[in-house]
Each structure stands twice: as structure tokens, then as C-alpha cells.
Structure 1
């Protein structure tokens, strides 16, 4: 018997493998989505162990548990994580970071690169223009836009 035949006869092993892969991927993303999907895959693995020939039921159980976890559990877990003393989101951590203006930046538009990521940007004051290639520092994050100023007072 080869591996594909064995896996076909033991669907729980496929679900368990999927759960493990999703859990490992969650360690990289830390977004609490993949771990919820992993729990759904574990539920499907349990269903496969009890009812190995009912693939539709396994899929429904896995999808249902995953959806329930994402809808009901994830928001409360995220709220608790964000309420933890000392928690700073990745955008909060960006405040004070240095980067480079990849286009001219004014009060209306511009673009920067910080830590290898490209962000839309605007200046902190309406009368400031930052030329392309100028080193900048992030003053604050306003939604998807970084509010910046020239790092060494290089105002055009």
C-alpha cells in the first residue's frame, strides 16, 4: 500500500496534517486567522475518525467550526490581546521610524519606504514639501497614511 492509498483510507490524517500546517503558518502571521482554521481542521479530523466515509460531513464540520471561531472567538481574543498593557500594533511601532521619500511629499500626497514597506504619506504641516530622496521620520499613522517630516529639518 502506498502513501496516497493510506491517506485515502485515513482522511483524519489529511485533516490533521492541514491543521498542523495552518498552526505553523499562524506562528508566522500572528493574525489569529489561521489558528481558527486549524481548529476547524482538527474538528474535521475528529469527524473523519468517527465517520471516515462522510466527506461532506467532514467538510461541513470543519467549515462550520472555522467560521464559528472566526466570527465569535477571534474578536474577543483580539480585544483581550489589544487591551494587554504594553501592547503596540505594528503601525504604532512605526511611529518614530526613519525612512526615505520615494516621491515628493506634500500635504496632499506622497510615498515613503520604511523598513522595506511602501506607504502613502503626507507631511505634518501644509506648508512643508519633502523632496524625493529625503530621509524622513514618521510622526504618526493616520489610517493608511503615514504623516511624516524631514528627519534633519530639510524643508523645501
Structure 2
């Protein structure tokens, strides 16, 4: 078996392992094996192929991997607008049913519906609710206490 085929198999192994583990290291080793495969296909000796693999691996693991990990570990983007309201607490200003309702989120009044309207949830006026989603200009809310159920 020719050396470039062996390097190609090694590259494939590392690539599959990276996809299964998301280590950000095995993929770089796959790239290094692919570089060694190219060196072999050009006709360079085995010692040079190993040196290409080692140098490319060291460069990838020492330079590229820290940047990739820093990018992945970056905190989430600051939410603004309606998306920033999801997860906040609100107060029901009127009874909230599947057809109508009004809540105060922070200092703003929003039309509201229960998050699961098919269950027949009725949220009484004055109840504290959690905002689970925003659809257009309507907040989908769920009561913090037990809701009233209608059949």
C-alpha cells in the first residue's frame, strides 16, 4: 500500500473522530495527516512526511485550537428588543385566556396568551407569570402558581 493512502486513511480516521467528539484537536490532526498525504503524493521521503505531519499538528494545536476554543467559549450575545423579555417575570393586568389578556413586563404593557392555550389555562388578574416566548406583539406566558383550568 502506498504511503499517501495510509496518510489518507489516518486523516479520515481523525476527521470522523472529530465529528463524533468535537474536541477541536482531532480535526487539526486530520488536516496535518492530509498535509502529509500531499507530501507523500508529491514523492517526498517518509521522514519528511512525518516532519510535515508533526509541524502541521504543532501549528494547528498550538495556534488554531486556542482561537477556536476562545470563539466557542465566548459568552452569548446580549439579547435586546423583544427577545430580551423572554425569561422575565410579568404581572397579569387582566385575566389571560386563549382569546385575550394583558400583562405588564417591566414598565410595558403587552397583550398576552397562555403558552399552552390548548390546555384551557386561565390566568387570573394580578397573577405573577413567566414570559416563555414572544410572538409578534403577544407575550406567551405561564403562571408561577397553579393556573385555573377550564374545560
Give the structure-2-normalised TM-score. Answer: 0.49
Give the structure-1-normalised TM-score. Answer: 0.47
